[in-house]
């Protein structure tokens, strides 16, 4: 199973980038072929239909190809002002936008429809970013993703990771593992 893992942050010391790395490692342990995607590696402007009309940026096409190649996804969503980040919204907006006349991307359903997606978040707050997940879930469902029932939020994130980036607490590792395993299980059933 091919698993795509990414965080809705490009900040160097992002808790959610650390969490994405943990999830990627757990996916590999579970036997998945994992791609840990860094959104900073894509030069994607703010979505604008006028800009899009002049031609879809090359990195948006590369983003679509990467997303499309993976039936299972894990998204680690930071929480900004009680919701997900503008970066994450912009990424999904571009990914879901059809490319007129393109043989693969002319349908706006692709590359999101049918993907099995698990949500994770990490925050210093006591809720661990759950509010970002509560806003992200309807967006993913609207894009016709299969949303895993299990999700996990790491609270007290400043002390949740050790110096090597591993989760300190066994309950956090177990919660993240449960999401990864459920996503892989469901994607395997839907691909079968």
Say what the pTM is: 0.96
Q: What is the per-residue burial (b if ≥16 Cβ within 10 Å, else e) of 108-123?
A: eebbbeebbbbbbbbb
**pLDDT values of the chain reduced to their tens digit, one per residue, 192 residues:** 999 999 999 999 999 999 999 999 999 999 999 999 999 999 999 999 999 889 999 999 999 999 999 999 999 999 999 999 999 999 999 999 999 889 999 988 899 999 999 999 999 989 999 999 999 999 999 999 999 999 999 999 999 999 999 999 999 999 999 999 999 999 999 986
Closest CA to 189 of 109, 71, 74: 71
List the domain boundaries for the chain. Answer: 2-191
Confirm or reject CATH 3.30.70.100 for domain 2-191, answering yes or no.
Answer: no
CA-wise closest residue to 7 among 101, 123, 141: 123
Q: What stretch of H or E contains 150?
A: strand 146-154
- Would you say 150 and 184 are in contact if contact means Cβ atoms under 8 Å apart? no
Going 44 to 46 to 51 to 56, the CA torsion angle's sign is positive
> DSSP character for 40?
G
């Amino acid at each position: 199973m091919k698993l795509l893992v990414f965080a809705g942050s490009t900040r160097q010391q992002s808790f959610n980038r650390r969490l994405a790395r943990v999830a990627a490692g757990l996916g590999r342990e579970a036997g998945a072929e994992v791609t840990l995607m860094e959104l900073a590696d894509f030069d994607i402007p703010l979505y604008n239909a006028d800009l899009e009309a002049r031609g879809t940026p090359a990195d948006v096409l590369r983003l679509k190809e990467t997303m499309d190649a993976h039936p299972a996804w894990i998204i680690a969503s930071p929480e900004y002002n009680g919701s997900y980040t503008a970066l994450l919204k912009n990424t999904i907006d571009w990914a879901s936008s059809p490319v007129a006349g393109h043989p693969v991307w002319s349908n706006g359903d692709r590359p999101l429809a049918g993907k099995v997606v698990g949500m994770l978040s990490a925050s210093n707050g006591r809720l661990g970013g759950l509010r970002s997940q509560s806003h992200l879930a309807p967006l993913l469902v609207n894009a016709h993703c299969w949303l895993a029932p299990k999700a996990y939020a790491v609270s007290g994130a400043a002390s949740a990771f050790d110096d090597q980036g591993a989760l300190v607490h066994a309950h956090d590792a177990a919660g993240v593992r449960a999401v990864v395993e459920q996503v892989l299980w469901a994607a395997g059933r839907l691909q079968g």
